[in-house]
A = this chain, B = another copy of it.
């Protein structure tokens, strides 16, 4: 059997999405749910806390758990939509072009800083553009610590580096720190992207960490501003 509290979570999410439990109404009380799912209250509370964190319910002491209207925004609860999702959403086959794939033996200072490298660490540098409806709208610059990724090919970069990491290398990404800013396009942006007169690019700088909290990738994803969208669900405080 799989996790009990996750199956309860999934069940409730399903019921909320289906409309079996309507927005604005109350969930059954924790006591009732323990009977419904034949489990202890703490287990129910774990499931409910997940629902709360992911924006499905709002818990109110003394009252109950209010179901939030999740229909207002159509997206994964939080975060940047990935390139593949973006492309398929726009009804297009995603197309990736690899402009550079090289192994840097002596990384420059800025990169060593970003990846907290020691003097002898080597780094994969990958530069790719992403195309939707025939327009190159995203420029991805990836730097990966060779310590964790011994080999890398053009074919892998054209598909998905992440799938390669997870499926073949058995590396698992656990968290990322992202920063979003707007910059003037560089010469490289002008050369590789179809900017069509846009005067800014949206830049997402990410530090990506593995399960053991080791930093293994730094990425700059540079987007044409008209195609950029980021959503966030922010719960107040702890």
Residues of A within 8 A of B (CB): 6, 9, 24, 42, 50, 53-55, 58, 60, 63, 66, 68-69, 72-73, 78-79, 116, 172-182, 198-200, 202, 207, 209, 211-213, 225-226, 228-236, 238
Interchain CB contact (< 8 A) of A211 among B24, B42, B58, B198: B58
Q: What are 8 sample pairs from A and B whose C-beta atoms fall under 8 A apart?
A: A50-B238, A66-B213, A72-B177, A73-B179, A182-B225, A198-B199, A200-B225, A232-B232
Please give me the residue from chain B that is nearest to A57 by CB atom. Answer: B213
List B contacts of A42 (CB < 8 A).
42
Given contacts A66-B213, A211-B58, A226-B182, contact A234 B175 (CB under 8 A): yes
Q: Which residue of B lies closest to A68 (CB)?
A: B213
Smallest Cβ-Cβ distance to A3: which chain B residue: B238
Q: A181 near B228 (CB under 8 angstroms)?
A: yes
Q: How far is the CB of A46 from chain B (nearest CB, A)?
A: 10
Note all chain B residues with C-beta closer than 8 A to A209.
58, 68
Given A58-B213, A207-B72, A212-B60, check contact A179 B234 (CB 8 Å).
no
B232 with A177: CB separation less than 8 A: yes
Quote the shortest CB–CB distance from A33 to chain B (angstroms): 18
Known: A68-B213, A79-B232, A199-B199. A55 touches B177 (CB 8 A): yes
